[in-house]
C-alpha cells in the first residue's frame, strides 16, 4: 500500500473545499489558501494542490501561524497535496 493510498483510505473527514493552485508561485498559494480558510468554519478541511516546491515550507508555516492543523502532505507527480483543517482561532 502506498502512502497516498493509506492517507485516502484513512481519511475520515472529507474536505469542504479543494483549491488548485497549480502553476502559481510564492506567495500566491499561501495567500489564496488563507482566503479560503477565512471563509470556512472551524473544523472544516481544505484540500490544497500546489506545484511550487516552496509550498512545502510555506504552507506548514502558514498553518502554524494561523492556528490551523496540517493533517497531511503528499507529493505526487510534481504536485504537493495538503489537507488543512481550519482551527478555532483563525
Q: List the domain boundaries for the chain.
A: 3-85
Domain topology for 3-85: Translation Initiation Factor IF3 (3.30.110)
Q: Each residue of 21-79: pLDDT tens digit? A: 999 999 999 999 999 999 999 999 999 999 999 999 999 999 999 999 999 999 989 99
- pLDDT confidence of residue 6: 40
- pLDDT confidence of residue 28: 97
Helix (H) or strand (E) holding 21: strand 17-21
- pLDDT confidence of residue 14: 77
Q: Rounded CA gap, 69 and 85, in Å?
A: 5
Q: Each residue of 16-29: pLDDT tens digit? A: 999 999 999 999 99
Q: Rounded CA gap, 31 and 61, in Å?
A: 12
- pLDDT confidence of residue 79: 97
Q: Is the pLDDT of residue 8 over 70?
A: no
Active-site amino acid positions: 26
Please, what is the end-to-end C-alpha distance for the chain in angstroms?
A: 35
Amino acid at each position: 500500500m502506498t502512502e497516498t493510498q493509506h492517507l485516502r483510505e484513512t481519511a475520515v473527514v472529507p474536505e469542504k473545499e479543494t483549491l488548485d493552485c497549480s502553476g502559481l508561485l510564492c506567495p500566491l498559494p499561501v495567500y489564496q489558501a488563507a482566503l479560503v480558510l477565512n471563509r470556512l468554519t472551524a473544523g472544516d478541511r481544505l484540500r490544497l494542490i500546489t506545484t511550487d516546491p516552496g509550498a512545502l515550507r510555506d504552507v506548514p508555516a502558514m498553518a502554524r501561524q494561523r492556528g490551523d492543523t496540517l493533517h497531511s502532505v503528499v507529493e505526487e507527480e510534481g504536485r504537493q497535496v495538503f489537507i488543512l483543517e481550519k482551527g478555532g482561532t483563525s
